[in-house]
Structure 1
Amino acid sequence: MTINCKGQLIDLSMPKVMGILNVTPDSFYDGGRFVSEKNVLLQVEKMLQDGANFIDIGGQSSKPNAEIVLVDEELNRVISTVDLILKNFPETILSIDTFNSKVAQMAIENGAAIINDISAGNLDDEMFETIAKLQVPYIMMHMRGTPQTMSKMTNYDDLVKDVLFYFSKKVAKARSFGINDLIIDPGFGFAKTLEQNFELLNKLKLFQMLELPVLVGISRKSMIYKTLENTPENALNGTSVLNTISLTKGANILRVHDVKEAVECVKLYNQLQK
């Protein structure tokens, strides 16, 4: 179970950690923290030292009811960050969190390696064609609607069955375009209630039937802090607990704000598997 990142084969049969770098003013947890070059470099250095395998750059927030960012503004945020990181840490494998094909193309042309699309092509008709042309790993997430409408779109006939069917269609479409390296993300917190998020996590092993790597992104999300009746700032312990459960249920990549703790989860899980 490998993906090709700029000629480097990454084996995802051993779980990996993706560090989150939001270069936005309004992300739900770290909005505004990493808008200066100094803070970006300090954070990237810390995540790499802590053991991050990938850094995921986001140029616009996807939290519920997030403000829509114009493509030119997203490009400005993302491309300058890609250039800055690769100038200072040239071996870094960068993922780009975007649903805009123009941002995807320019980021890859500037040295990024992976595209992480919360809409799996639903918000840009040219995304699949762009990924096929670029031949880079493509993370497809499950979401209904948009970040502005998703909270009202949580009615499912059968949650897990519906999400699996969604991915079966998306995978078939991606393959028809000639896209090789696919990763699926069940989309915790996107068009799902708190209870539905836990149902999805409880049945995560069923996604192995797709025979593709699974990314889990639950870091400091509301399914954790609302259940524990605290805040995103106090949700690290809960994040580590659910990340560990995700690993036992087949997660291949943990997408997190806190790399050190996630890497520790992976190390302990790997030791248990021995």
Structure 2
Amino acid sequence: MNCYKLSSHTPLEALLKKLDVTPEGCAILKQKAHLNLIYIKDLKTPAANILKQDALSIGADLAVPKETITCKVPMVDALLIANDKQLKELSIKERVQPFGLKALAKELEELRFTCKHDFSVMGILNTNEDSFFQGSRFSGKAALRHIERMIEEGASIIDVGGVSSRPGSVGVSEEEELSRIAPIVDLIAQHHLTCKAKFSLDSYSPLCLEYALSRGFQIVNDITALANDDVARMAATHQASVVLMHMKGEPSSMQESPKYENVVLEVDAFFEERIEKAKRFGIEKIILDVGIGFGKTLEQNVQLLQHHEHFLRFGYPLLVGASRKSMIDKIIATPIEKRLAGTLALHVKAYEHGASIIRAHDVYEHVQALSVARALQTIV
């Protein structure tokens, strides 16, 4: 008899099928094998004591500060450690408990994650001269050839932008932005490329978005997350998908000492608010983007990637865009032109933590890397 230890990332469902476990058995065992670590902020101390006892009673646990049992402080933070089955049981138990535990029960139910294995690569094309990566800047027929090449390499979405949103960038008028993107939008329409891939406009200009959406574009990539009601109305009218991205401040100043008490919870609250607004305007096709590099320090960017799976609780696809960004340079000094390897490391990690749309400058390399990452999740 021999045995060996499996990785915690082993594709369990495929392994159980290989062992010829019944479908009913697979369903039960999958719940027991996925461990959740859930950080709970500002939990009333009596609630913490109740939750700990309930967790222990079903084989889970709750890590709390040592003075919690004495109730010397009114609120504490806690760490819940539970598999999917225990999480479900605990959410049922807490529905009848006081001290805010009824509301917590609802959140625990939402946080029973499912890993996403499919991915789409969103290729980047910029029609401006101030985008931070020169390799993404194209115009005229060269832009058309680059779009066709990205589609051939496996991009299922092409994101076109006419204004840079890099840290320190300054905006331009709607008319100037339109003069940059209109020739490319027209070429895309003339060559019927919207039949080969989906097209997204990286803009928050109603004028530019109306131009693109009326010519076959299907996605609004809005770094302001529908701050402008006119953009929300337009997206709803065209039944477009909308990327809601979190950004702290404005591009011109967003990297000047951004501060958060808890970046994951603040981004979560932002998404909740903007999703509600999108729905109020009749927008149903929503994509969430935590906004790597948009008003975040290196540590905050890393925290968002480490806990990216948290945002699956909203039930919408997650987009990540860390391509060649300065966080790589902050980890290991690297010029923009040589940040492909670091980009792939960040994006594969984001994919493993729930991202299903990867916005990237280098399409071929991303399709290859993500195809391998997917195989590692599905082949035993």
Matched residue, 2:365:
261
Contact 2:286–2:317 (CA under 8 A) maintained in structure 1: yes
Matched residue, 1:67:
170
Determine the C-alpha separation between the residues in 2 that align with 1:18 and 1:144: 23
Contact 2:258–2:296 (CA under 8 A) maintained in structure 1: yes
TM-aligned CA deviation for residue 89 of structure 1 = 4.7
Asked if 1:97 is matched to 2:177, the reply is no
User: Counterpart amino acid of 1:85?
Assistant: I
Listed one character per residue, the Cα deviations across residues 150-180 of structure 1 (whole Å, up to 9, x for unaligned) are 1236111111000000000110111111101
Contact 1:18–1:256 (CA under 8 A) maintained in structure 2: yes
User: Counterpart amino acid of 2:221?
Assistant: N
Matched residue, 1:39:
142
TM-aligned CA deviation for residue 126 of structure 1 = 1.6
Matched residue, 1:24:
128
Matched residue, 1:230:
334
Listed one character per residue, the Cα deviations across residues 6-43 of structure 1 (whole Å, up to 9, x for unaligned) are xxxxxx862100000011100001278312x1320221
* Structure 1 outlier segments of 4+, above 3 Å: none
Pick from 190, 195, 217: which aligns with 1:112? 217
User: Counterpart amino acid of 1:205?
Assistant: E
Matched residue, 1:3:
none
Matched residue, 2:155:
52
User: Counterpart amino acid of 1:68?
Assistant: G
Determine the C-alpha separation between the residues in 1 that align with 2:137 and 2:222: 23
Task: Tell which deviates more after alignment, 127-136 or 188-197.
Answer: 127-136
Matched residue, 2:6:
none
Matched residue, 1:187:
291
Listed one character per residue, the Cα deviations across residues 229-253 of structure 1 (whole Å, up to 9, x for unaligned) are 0111010011111111111001010
Determine the C-alpha separation between the residues in 1 that align with 2:370 and 2:190: 29
Matched residue, 1:210:
314
Determine the C-alpha separation between the residues in 2 that align with 1:203 and 1:187: 14
Pick from 300, 325, 329: which aligns with 1:221? 325
Matched residue, 1:5:
none
Matched residue, 2:51:
none
User: Which structure is richer in relative contact order (CA contacts within 8 A, separation 6 or more)?
Assistant: 1
Asked if 1:142 is matched to 2:238, the reply is no
Coordinate RMSD, CA, aligned: 1.5
Determine the C-alpha separation between the residues in 1 that align with 2:345 and 2:238: 37
Determine helix, strand or coil for the equivalent of 1:126. Answer: helix
Matched residue, 2:91:
none
TM-aligned CA deviation for residue 181 of structure 1 = 0.1
TM-aligned CA deviation for residue 87 of structure 1 = 2.1
Normalised to the residue count of structure 2, the TM-score between the two structures is: 0.66
Determine helix, strand or coil for the equivalent of 2:255. Answer: helix
User: Counterpart amino acid of 1:214?
Assistant: L
Determine helix, strand or coil for the equivalent of 2:331. Answer: coil
Task: Tell which deviates more after alignment, 159-168 or 220-229.
Answer: 220-229
Pick from 237, 247, 251: which aligns with 1:133? 237
Asked if 1:247 is matched to 2:351, the reply is yes
Determine the C-alpha separation between the residues in 1 that align with 2:250 and 2:360: 22
Contact 1:215–1:254 (CA under 8 A) maintained in structure 2: yes
User: Counterpart amino acid of 2:345?
Assistant: V
Determine helix, strand or coil for the equivalent of 1:21. Answer: strand
User: Counterpart amino acid of 1:196?
Assistant: Q
Task: Tell which deviates more after alignment, 87-96 or 166-175.
Answer: 87-96
TM-aligned CA deviation for residue 273 of structure 1 = 2.3
Matched residue, 1:6:
none
User: Counterpart amino acid of 2:239?
Assistant: Q
Pick from 180, 187, 199: which aligns with 1:77? 180
Listed one character per residue, the Cα deviations across residues 49-99 of structure 1 (whole Å, up to 9, x for unaligned) are 110001000010000121221101111211211111232353232100001
Determine helix, strand or coil for the equivalent of 2:190. Answer: helix
Contact 1:144–1:190 (CA under 8 A) maintained in structure 2: yes
Determine helix, strand or coil for the equivalent of 1:152. Answer: coil
Contact 1:142–1:166 (CA under 8 A) maintained in structure 2: yes
Determine the C-alpha separation between the residues in 2 that align with 1:38 and 1:129: 33
Paired residues for 1:145-160 under 5 Å: 145-152=249-256, 154-160=258-264
Determine the C-alpha separation between the residues in 2 that align with 1:50 and 1:161: 37
TM-aligned CA deviation for residue 227 of structure 1 = 1.3
Asked if 1:271 is matched to 2:375, the reply is yes
User: Counterpart amino acid of 1:224?
Assistant: I
User: Counterpart amino acid of 2:341?
Assistant: N
User: Counterpart amino acid of 2:224?
Assistant: S
Contact 2:189–2:215 (CA under 8 A) maintained in structure 1: no
